[in-house]
């Protein structure tokens, strides 16, 4: 995986851009790519996946599924074929599963292993090894899996699965699609009905895709809006052909860039518009951003559109905490939009950002201060006083703490800075968006 200590950091200064123009495609959705590989590997027969995100995180999932018996190949045409082992057919991996920087791979794969009679060792890079795993090991432990974790409940972590596992009903104490998904994946090979109760809706890619693969899944919403998601196992999955929509989290960097760089008019094609993920678009529109949805369609059960984004005068807002789960990964770049808006933007309910690849609230606050933005850090959010459209002073180097989204966010900030913004290391960007720097250069070139 990347980020080996012996590799030199790759700093880069991002300087002011004239209008961003043209049409681009962002990589495939990371959440859907992980799930497509995992579920295909649990089918009997051949699945084909087009548009898979080929970043390091997703490749870690592919390597883990291979290690547990699936045959996974990438064709010269970019289409991936997966021959699965069937639910219940996962094999004992011979080596530790290296998750790199991928929290999604780790938590979801722990769910898969939990209901198979195998033992797997999960390792990861320094950043991933600081992230909390108890939120997943607690419910999976109730199902009968055993865990040997490092002190503090982190990686490296050993999972010993149980077959047959025990079905549970589990109410999510924290809004987490990863915890929900881990339990549902464990349920596939567990006799009886397992139910996840979700008080606050989170991204629903797992439910959509499980249903698409033929899992016996039901979703009921009670009068209070609480979702009860159930799977009755053990069950068989049917091989599928999957087209992965463009990742809205990756699109967000270019949406914000086109909104804040004067004169921009940019089309971002094939963006996933799942309502549990598109909060960033809603909030930017509330600020006055011009984002037009073109060619709206449904692909593989997921809504997709092309987005035309034009430079806009943004106004500060108070972001409704209820929308946080649908844009939790987009706050770093949203803070850049807020820095360019007129007036003050207030965010709250962002405690979850403190346990991402870095403490994203603290890291963003320090970086914003370093480039001349007026920001106040609170326990659960940031308060940002915008420039009213005036260029940001710039500066740096900004410490990204090996966090891909923070690196890309400050690259966007550099486009509207007087002296440029220096990012201390661009290597982590490859975890989610390998083509980011090339695409940025392309749309800047089109605007010259």
Binding residues for 3-phosphoshikimate: 30-31, 35, 176, 178, 329, 356
Token pair listed for 293? 């949805």
Q: CB–CB of 287/341 below 8 Å?
A: yes
Token pair listed for 6? 């012996």
Q: CB–CB of 137/110 below 8 Å?
A: yes
Rounded Cα distance between 428 and 445, Å, is 24
Pseudo-torsion of CA 184, 186, 191, 193, nearest 10°? -20
Rounded Cα distance between 22 and 316, Å, is 28
Q: CB–CB of 310/267 below 8 Å?
A: no
**Number of other CB atoms surrounding residue 208 within 10 Å:** 19
Tell me the helices (H) and strands (E) count for the chain, helix number first: 12, 22
Token look-up 């057919």 returns 89
The annotated binding site is made up of: 30-31, 35, 103, 131, 176, 178, 329, 356, 360, 405
Q: CB–CB of 159/113 below 8 Å?
A: yes
The annotated binding site for phosphoenolpyruvate is made up of: 30, 103, 131, 178, 360, 405
- 3 state DSSP class of 30: helix
Token look-up 């990589």 returns 27
Query: Catalytic annotation on 329?
Result: yes
Phi, then psi, of 168 in degrees rounded to 5: -135, 160
Rounded Cα distance between 257 and 349, Å, is 25
Q: Considering only CA atoms, which of 165, 173, 128 is closest in space to residue 146?
A: 165
Q: CB–CB of 28/441 below 8 Å?
A: no
Question: What are 374's strand-pairing partners?
Answer: 385
Q: Of 329, 403, 424, 425, which residue is the catalytic one? A: 329
Which residues are known to be catalytic? 329
């Amino acid at each position: 995986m990347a980020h080996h200590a012996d590799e030199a950091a790759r700093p880069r200064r991002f300087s002011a851009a004239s209008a961003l123009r043209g049409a681009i495609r962002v990589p495939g959705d990371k959440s859907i790519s992980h799930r497509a590989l995992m579920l295909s590997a649990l089918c009997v027969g051949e699945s084909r996946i087009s548009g898979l995100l080929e970043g390091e995180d997703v490749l870690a999932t592919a390597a883990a599924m291979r290690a547990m018996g699936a045959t996974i190949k990438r064709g010269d045409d970019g289409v991936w074929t997966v021959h699965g082992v069937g639910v219940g057919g996962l094999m004992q991996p011979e080596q530790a599963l290296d998750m790199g920087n991928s929290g999604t791979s780790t938590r979801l794969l722990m769910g898969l292993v939990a209901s198979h009679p195998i033992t797997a060792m999960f390792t990861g890079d320094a950043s991933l090894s600081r992230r909390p795993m108890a939120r997943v090991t607690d419910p999976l432990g109730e199902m009968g899996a055993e865990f040997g974790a490092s002190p503090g409940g982190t990686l490296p972590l050993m999972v010993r699965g149980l077959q047959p596992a025990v079905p549970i009903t589990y109410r999510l104490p924290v809004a987490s699609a990863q915890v929900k998904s881990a339990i549902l994946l464990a349920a596939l090979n567990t006799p009886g009905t397992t139910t996840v109760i979700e008080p606050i809706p989170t991204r629903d890619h797992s439910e959509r895709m499980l249903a698409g693969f033929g899992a016996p899944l039901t979703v009921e919403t009670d009068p209070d809006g609480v979702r009860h998601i159930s799977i009755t196992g053990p069950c068989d999955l049917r091989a599928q052909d999957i087209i992965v929509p463009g990742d809205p989290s990756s699109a967000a960097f270019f949406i914000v860039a086109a909104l804040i760089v004067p004169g921009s008019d940019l089309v971002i094609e094939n963006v996933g518009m799942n309502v549990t993920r598109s909060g960033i678009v809603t909030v930017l529109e509330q600020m006055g951003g011009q984002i037009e949805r073109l060619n709206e369609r449904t692909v593989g059960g997921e809504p997709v559109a092309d987005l035309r984004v034009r430079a806009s005068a943004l106004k500060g807002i108070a972001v409704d905490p209820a929308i946080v789960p649908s844009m939790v990964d987009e706050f770093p770049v949203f803070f850049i939009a807020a820095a360019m808006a007129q007036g003050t933007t207030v965010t709250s309910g962002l405690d979850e950002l403190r346990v991402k690849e870095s403490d994203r609230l603290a890291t963003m606050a320090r970086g914003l201060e370093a480039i001349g933005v007026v920001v106040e850090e609170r326990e659960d959010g940031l308060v940002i006083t915008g420039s009213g459209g005036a260029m940001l002073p710039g500066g740096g180097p900004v410490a990204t703490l090996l966090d891909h989204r923070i690196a890309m966010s400050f690259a966007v900030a550099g486009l509207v800075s007087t002296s440029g913004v220096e990012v201390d290391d661009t290597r982590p960007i490859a975890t989610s968006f390998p083509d980011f720097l090339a695409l940025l250069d392309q749309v800047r070139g089109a605007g010259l």
